[in-house]
Structures are given as C-alpha cells and as structure tokens.
Amino acid sequence: MLTTNPFDPDMQDGDKLREECGVFGILGPQDAAALAALGLHALQHRGQEAAGIVSLEGETFHQHRALGQVGDIFGSEPVMRSLRGNAAIGHVRYATTGETALRNVQPLFAEFEFGGFAVGHNGNLTNANMLRRQLVRRGCLFQSTTDTEVIIHLMATARGGNVIDRLVEALRQIEGAYSLVCLAKGQVIGVRDPLGVRPLVLGRLGEHPVLASESVALDIIGADYVRDIEPGEMVVLDEAGVQSFRPFQKAPSKFCIFEYIYFARPDSLVEGLSVYQVRKRIGAELAAESHVDADLIIPVPDSGVPAALGYAEQSGIPFDLGIVRNHYVGRTFIQPTDKIRRLGVKLKHNANRHHIAGKRVVLVDDSIVRGTTSVKIVEMMRDAGAKEVHMRISSPPTSHSCFYGIDTPEKEKLLAHKHSVEEMRQFINADSLAFISLDGLYKALGHAARNGANAQYCDACFTGDYPIPLTDYETSPVPLFAERRA
C-alpha cells in the first residue's frame, strides 16, 4: 500500500502532464499582429506562462514579449499599435526547458548578416546541451537558458548563405522534436522535425497563408484549413506563395499520441482526424475493454468529457456531470493546515452530490500522473455519498518521462513507473481501476493494433520506446544549461 500524502502542498500542481507550447505565423494582411494575437488566444491551452509576438514592417522588426496570458499581454491598444507590419509570428509558452523568465520568452530574435530573424519553437531538442557546450567554446554568448537559442547560434556559425541555407544547416545538427515558425525579411518559415512529433498546420485567410500548431487557431481568425505540414517538411511563405522543401532524410512518422488524448483542443483537426471524435472512440474502446456495472458515467472535467461520452454510449450507462469545475481558479494557494488543504481542493472541483448519493459511479479521466488528483476526486465522490467509485483512464499507464516537449515529472515520480494497476487502485482508493490498452488506443485511432517496433506514433510515455536519441540525458541526467521542470 502506498503512503504518499496527497495533500502535500508540494504536490498540489504536479499531477497533470503540462502543455508544451503553441506557435502561429501569418504573412500578408496589414493587421498581421492582431491576427496573431487572436491565433494565440486559441492556442492558450498549450502554454499559459508567457507569450510573445514579433512583427515585420518592411525591413523593421517589432516585438513584444511578456510573462502572463495572451489577453493580459496583448489586450492593450498601445502594445498592438506598436506591432506594425504585414507579417507576424507568435508563441505561447509553458517551460519544458529553461527557467520562467522574460529572457526565455519567445519568439527569440537576433540580427544576422542577412538581417533580422525571429523563431518560435514547440518541442524539445535532446542534444541542445551538447551543442551549447560546443558553441560556448567557440565564443558564442547565450542570452537565455532555453534550448531554442541553440538554433540561432548554429545559424550564426553556419558556413554562409541565405536564411534558408543557414536554417537547414542548423537543423541538420540538432536532435529532438520541433515545430518552428520563423520570421525573416519578406518570409514566414515553418518546419517540422523529420519524425513530425509536434503538430503544425497550414491554412489560408483569403490570399494570405497561415501557420499554426492547431486548426483551432485558423478557425478563430476565419481562415481555412489547407493541410498539415508533413514530417521533415519546410514551407516558406513569401510573395511567390507557399514553397515546400524536403531538406531532411525521410523517416517514419512518430506523431505524439498524447495530442489526441489530452493536449490538442477537442475542436481541432490533427493529422486529418477530429480530436473530439478520436476521444469519443477512445472512451468507447475503454468501455468495451473494462465494462463495470454502474449507474452513472462521470467525466473528470474538462479533459475527460469526450472520452466519458464515448464510454457512456458504448456501455449504455447514463452520462452525467457529477463534478463541477471552477474555471476561475489558478494555481492553488499554499494552505497552512491539512483541514484547509482539503477544503482548498474544492476550489477547483466540487461534487454534484444530489446526483451522486447512493449511486455506483464510473469516473473517466485522461491520465494518472502522480495519482494525487485521482485520490482527491475519488474521496470527493465518497464524501458525496457514492455507493461505489470506479476509475477508468483513457490512456495507458504513464510510466516514462517525455523528453520531446511535454513537461512530465521524472519517471520515479510517476505512479505507474513503479506500481501495478492494483497498487494504484489501492492508492487512489477506488473500487476498481482500469486503463485503455495500448492496442485499444491504436484501434481508436484507426489502426488494427500497435505495430510493435514500427509503432505509428510516439508513445514513449507509455512504453519507454524513445524514437529520437536522448543524447543530453544519456550523458548527464541533469542538464547543465537548461533546467527541466518537474
């Protein structure tokens, strides 16, 4: 039986996999920065710590970056007036490498021989520390602790050529996961890593091309979805239109499977699939694999809702909103006593007790990380009078850390890394606990099963099968130049 205190204040906010980052780029309209700000609003779920926009007016770059959320940063008329020009890129950030400080807020900007250059990055570079050591020895002076700055210095030390040549030379030296949007004179550039781990889509607003992490950012500005940028593809948006290049050796696609489970917004279209429909199919597969007699299916809000709907439809058990979430609560304050800590749990979630008392309930959530949130939710159901509490999870057990742009605890702190499903059930005090199988997850995505060593997605957080080398972490578990947040 596990004995970790679920009300330890140090664990209050570490029980969800954190969003990575979101990027946006547009070329053509005179109000490019305002459209970028709207796009970032739609991508806010991908990062809530900081945001930035760089715009281009002729040959002059304008930029504004700050800590906080998009509405607070770009809700000021003077700020938006300062971001003049008909091209802009934007970025929302949750730190996976580097401290939370203004110097790490993206897009990063630098002056080159060819002119100004800005870059926004979603993902993680897994050999950034090795490259950074080499660059420092060559005399490079770093201004941030984020891995993205390595790209700028690799471009600066490239053998020459235009911005595209330098960017390609830089990217051929790095390992890891990345979707980039870049801004240079007369150009917006988008790139996905050769395995396509992180998402990037192409859209069109009238005659103006748009790049974004998710299709919802196109929806908010009235742009049409055109297609996903393919793994290993570079697109250059300029006055000639959209040009596509393939600068990297072709490799099997390894798109992040957790985008479908949790990270992408449910109203997004990702890799040609509706995220909402995929999550409902995951819930249906979960119900088929782990049916239990019950009276109500209750989602853990908000990410558990689509899977719970699919579970309810497949099982024939009624769906109900047995937990109400308070959307106006940020980070939980540090409470001085156990009693107040327990009351503080209700700041974020409260049981709809009139529908729960005397009922057998099935809670549907997207994942269990440390397990502390599940403990609190199960206890809340029992306090509300639930007769039985069963937990169903719409992902396989998360037993390994992500190194490709998702902030996860170290694997030793993941409940599933060291404990069986039965031990986890005891820890959260549920009457039963079940996760969707890996094959069931792949089936919900339209595949017969997971194809072993040739798996169609990156699922390393469940399997430990990392498709990209972990150079920095194999040589030094604690990076020297970039803090990992855990």
365 is in an annotated binding site: yes
Q: Which of 7, 17, 19, 21 is catalytic?
A: 21
> What tokens were used for 230?
């393919």
What count of other Cβ atoms lies within 10 Å of the Cβ of residue 139?
Answer: 7
Q: Is 366 annotated as a binding residue?
A: yes
Peptide bond into 107 cis (omega under 30): yes
Catalytic-residue membership of 21: yes
Q: Considering only CA atoms, which of 124, 121, 223, 95 is closest in space to residue 181?
A: 121
Q: Please state, in angstroms and rounded to a whole number, the distance separating the CA atoms of residues 175 and 156.
A: 18
Tell how far CA 378 is from the center of its chain: 26
Long-range contacts from 129-133, C-beta under 8 angstroms, 24+ separation:
129/472, 129/476, 129/479, 129/480, 129/481, 129/482, 130/471, 130/472, 130/475, 131/173, 131/174, 132/481, 133/480, 133/481
Residue 256 labelled as part of a binding site: yes
Q: What is the CA radius of gyration of the chain?
A: 23
Cα separation of 213 and 107, whole Å?
14
Q: Count of CB atoms within 10 A of residue 252's CB?
A: 12
Q: What distance in Å separates the CA atoms of residue 240 and residue 317, rounded to the nearest whole number? A: 56
**How many other CB atoms are there within 10 angstroms of residue 136's CB atom?**
13
Element housing 92 (H / E): strand 87-93
Which residue numbers are catalytic?
21
**What residues are designated binding site for Mg(2+)?**
303, 365-366
**What residues are designated binding site?**
256, 303, 365-366, 402, 458, 461
**What residues are designated binding site for [4Fe-4S] cluster?**
256, 402, 458, 461
